[in-house]
Amino acid sequence: MAPNGKLKLALYWAASCGGCEIAIVELREKILIVDQVADILFWPVAIDAKYKDVEAMPDKHIDVCLFNGAIRTSENEHLAHLLRQKSKVLVAFGSCAHEGCIPGLGNLFDRQSIFERVYLEAPSVDNPQKILPQTTTQVPEGEIHIPKFYNTVKTLGQVEDVDYFLPGCPPQPHQIWAVIEAILAGNLPPKGSVVGANEKTVCDECKHKREEKRIKKFYRIHEIIPDTTQCLFDQGIICAGPATRGGCGALCPQVNMPCRGCYGPAPHQIDQGAALLSAVSSVVDADTEEEAARIVGEIADPIGTFYRFSLPSSLLHRVRLNEGGKVA
């Protein structure tokens, strides 16, 4: 706590989309309360503090750091270590920091193939000299260094010691507020806990009516118009809700879109995608090997479907690399 009794707060964005920043703003009038009770020392999107300001702070100067975004580059990692050093409590804020989220899908590829796609192959690219980013480049003014783009995306927890995890893509405002209140009241659970989310999976919050499951055919969401009162999974649409931590209020199923799994793994899972895969295939209505293989064969892109948000935090972390660091 600062001498003025205010909480010293820092927020940082690593490899992310900015949605977690918007989520803070979504606190709406409550942001004024945040302003009352906290001093925001570092928040790149909103205030003009610099890295050197953070480096100048004493260790553990920051009370709470809300760190969102995955670790994609060396800069992300550097700040992860720096902010850990300077913070009492480091919170992995949002799904990217928690389980990898959408940037994590980069783990289906490697640096080289991503660069080639982005800088050479993409239809709207105009790069006749075929220039790819380098960590070091000579320019008339001298040498320029840019952060290294890692081969593999990592979660915050995979590079640093994290105190709390607040999942969501983005975390829901009411959940963020609940965590802030808990921090202010000094009422936090044991270190390493997931906060701002439920113990049960999304199904517990979902209003659709569920029945015993027997799936004869899988549909993608654009292939059928689902019954809006019945469980989407019952109707053959792969909904990650049963395998995803709840707390969001089942927002997506409420508008008849299947849950995508953004709040990440449920408490006891060791691998979110594998748990969902097991559930989805177990209830296939097939009593012969041929029929079973045929029905599950209809699922396009298993890894993208089951690991959309959690690939870096899965057991295998990423697609295999060969000796040269390339996807095999």
Partner 1 sequence: MSDKTFEPHIVGFLCNWCTYTAADTAGVSRMEQPPNVDIIRLMCTGRIEPAFILKAFAEGADGVIVSGCHPPGDCHYNSGNFKTFRRMPLLERLLEQYGIEKGRFHWGWISGAEAPKWAQLTRDFTEQVRGLGPLDWKRQLESKED
Partner 2 sequence: MSMVTLTIDGQTIQAEEGQTILEVCRRNSISIPTLCYHPVLEPFGACRLCTVEIAQGGRNGLQTACTYPVSDGLVVNTSSPAVIEARRMILGLLLSRCPNVPVIQDLALEYGIKEPPFPTDKPEEDCILCGLCVRACHELVKAGAINFADRGVDRVIGPPFLEKTRDCIGCGACTIVCPTGAIQIVLEKEAIYKEKPLGPTSAIYVPSLQAVPRVPVIDTDTCIRFRQQDRTSGEIEDACGACQIVCEAGAIDFTQKDEIIELDVGTVVVATGFEMWDATKLSQYSYGKSPNIITGLEFERLSNAAGITGGQIVLADGRKPERVAIIHCIGSRDHNAHEYCSRICCMYSLKQAHLVKDKTGAEVYEFYMDMRAFGKGYEEFYERVQEEGVTMIRGRGAEVDVLENGKLRVKGEDANLGRLVTADVDMVVLSTAIQAPQDAGKIASLFGLGRTPDGFFAEAHPKLRPVETNTDGVFLAGTAQGPKDVPDTVAHAGAAASMALALLSKGEVTISPATAIVDEKLCSGCKTCIALCPYTAISFLDDKNVAYVNEVLCKGCGTCVAACPAQAITARHFTEEQIIAQIEGLFRVPDFLKAEGVPA
Applying CB under 8 A, which residues contact partner 1?
Answer: 74, 108, 148, 150-152, 269-271, 273-275, 277-278, 280-282, 284, 286-289, 292-293, 296-297, 299, 301-303, 306, 314-321, 325, 327-328
Distances (CA, A) of 158 to 20, 149, 150, 284: 20, 17, 14, 35
Q: Which is nearer to partner 2, 93 or 233 (CB)?
A: 233
Is 248 among the residues that bind partner 2 (CB under 8 A)? no
CB of 92 to partner 1, least distance (A): 19
Distances (CA, A) of 287 to 17, 203, 283, 290, 292: 45, 27, 11, 9, 7
CB of 156 to partner 1, least distance (A): 16
Local structure of residue 218 (DSSP, 8 states): -
Q: Which are the contacts of 247, defined by CB distance < 8 A and separation ≥ 6?
A: 167, 168, 172, 175, 196, 197, 198, 205, 263
Is 270 among the residues that bind partner 2 (CB under 8 A)? yes
Dig out the tokens for 182 from the structure: 């808990």
Is 282 among the residues that bind partner 2 (CB under 8 A)? yes
Single-letter amino acid, residue 255: V
How long, in residues, is the chain?
328
256 Cα distance to chain centroid: 22
CB of 107 to partner 1, least distance (A): 10
Is 212 among the residues that bind partner 2 (CB under 8 A)? yes
Partner that binds at residue 237, options partner 2, partner 1, none, CB closer than 5 to 8 Å by kind? none
Partner that binds at residue 319, options partner 2, partner 1, none, CB closer than 5 to 8 Å by kind? partner 1
Partner that binds at residue 141, options partner 2, partner 1, none, CB closer than 5 to 8 Å by kind? none
Give the CA angle between residues 20, 162, 76 to the nearest 5°.
60
Q: H or E stretch including 71? A: strand 71-73
Q: How many residues bind partner 2 (CB under 8 A)?
A: 28
CB of 265 to partner 2, least distance (A): 9
CB of 113 to partner 1, least distance (A): 13
